Structure 1
Amino acid sequence: MYSSPPKQPSSLYPQVDLSNPDATSSSPSSSSSLYPSLDMKDLAENLFPDDATALHTHQDSAEQLLLKVPGAIVHLIERETSIELACGDLCIVSLLQGDNVVAVFARLGDDIQWPLAKDEPVVKLDASHYFFTLRVPSNGSFEDGKDSNQTEDVLNYGLTIAAKGQEGLLKELDRILETYSCFSVQQVKGIENWNLVDARNVAPEELNRKEKRDLIVGSSMAYWTTLAPNVEDYSGSIAKAIASGSGYVVKGILWCGDVTVDRLKWGNEFLSKRIKSGSTSEISPEALRRMKRFVS
């Protein structure tokens, strides 16, 4: 009895009938492909597209002005004599990469700018005085390819603002500083009744008059020089907190206490000498080095 061969299982792949050899030849008119056809001529012609935007895959960077506050003075704070660095409009500027904020800077004119960051403290002492702390690598010596002095310089700089009529702008400044830096508000005790020009009662346009400007700058210099030890102690505590690996500045670090009577007396004498006509102040080599690092 004849039995038919067992039925072959169905295949997952298409079968090719080899009885007609021409069926295996590929031509656009006789067969269809699962893949799109590729013309090498088109590929060569489109290798360098004419559209210039296609060549720029990165996003362009741009600056955005967040705030401008007229009547600002910046001093590098030193124990012997604080150094005036710039006077003019304080601008807070953000650097954008597309829609993303890459960095935020404080800037005075074309010469002075410094970054704002969450691990860099900014302290407001009253309505017209702020101080900033900036850590920069120090110049260590190199031996065997290694830095033998891996330390940082801590630069402290004081911002004085002619605040009269600018209360709204200063509120906005506080908001920006709180957003982009380690911002806190402290109180200086012991200096309230000192014979200083109160920048809260000075309008920005008054800085355009040389006599008035010199008086305000001299008073501001005396203010920051008198506070220098307290500022240094505060920023030293900040530096230690960062070095301990906390990751960011703890806002619980408090202002370093009252200004001493001796320092107030010294500051009053400094101010008296500073406002005399033709008076000059000696700047230490260390202060000059810090100043160069600050403005570089």
Structure 2
Amino acid sequence: MATFFGEVLSVYSRAVEEEDDEEELDENDEDAQIRKELEEKREVRLHWGPEVCDALKSGDKLPCSHFILAVGHNASRFLSVYVLASEKWESVGSASVWNERNQAGSGQQSGCVFFRRRDEPSVIICQLTCYIAEDQQFQWAEKVLDCLQHRDLNVTVLSDCSMADYKSVDYLCGSSTPFLRSLHSNAFSGPPVCPALEQPNILTGLPAAVLNHCQVHRISAVVYQCFSDVIGTDSVTMETYKPALAKLGKAITLDPCPSSDTLRKIVRTRDPQSNLYI
């Protein structure tokens, strides 16, 4: 469009501008809705039994003197063989976690189950074998630990880790695998049963989220990380966790000699046909 002085001005149609704005607004609304639905789907959900639900709904938190969390197949199966095989334990809940690597439902299929001692309800165990994504780790720690009374609470975490992730100046360190390393919160009293995790090694994943939560809330907590060079479930790796729970005394009773049938069911022999070079 030209003015009376010969100046040329660019003119845009208001109708086109409004249509573009409406389309952009619709796209933003759609993206926001998708993000909201995805966040809801990735939310960590706890499923407690009736007795626990009634207690939590009344505003009470679960009395807990010891909370033992096993992260990984060797840590979880160690508890299955040496602790949970007795009839002293009952399942009281589970957690369902949906993400890109774990799309199972709730309950046993979720790979996250809670147990409580029948004769001592203040001792709670959690077996976790499913994948917890980075954006779900602190949410898991907050939701689970907020269900427990923090007074006199002691948290023990058993965690699997590959020897490939361990950094050491000692070239021959791998000859002594598997072995334990520990990290603990400031509120933890007493020496751990193994050396501290050396720098520059760092704690990652859910164990790190749980320890961080305990540090912030001044809860006594210790993480025992087992480094192993064996892929899959291994009886020797499982036994490495024994000193960590033996330290808890009467709170946890370890089976000194589990049956061979129980071990056979837990420890699976690797199929040689899976070897790439056979």
- Normalising by the smaller structure, the TM-score range is under 0.3
Larger Rg: 1
Larger relative contact order (CA 8 Å, sep ≥ 6): 2
Structure whose residues are more often helix by fraction: 2
Structure with the largest fraction of strand? 1
TM-score, normalised to structure 1's length? Answer: 0.26
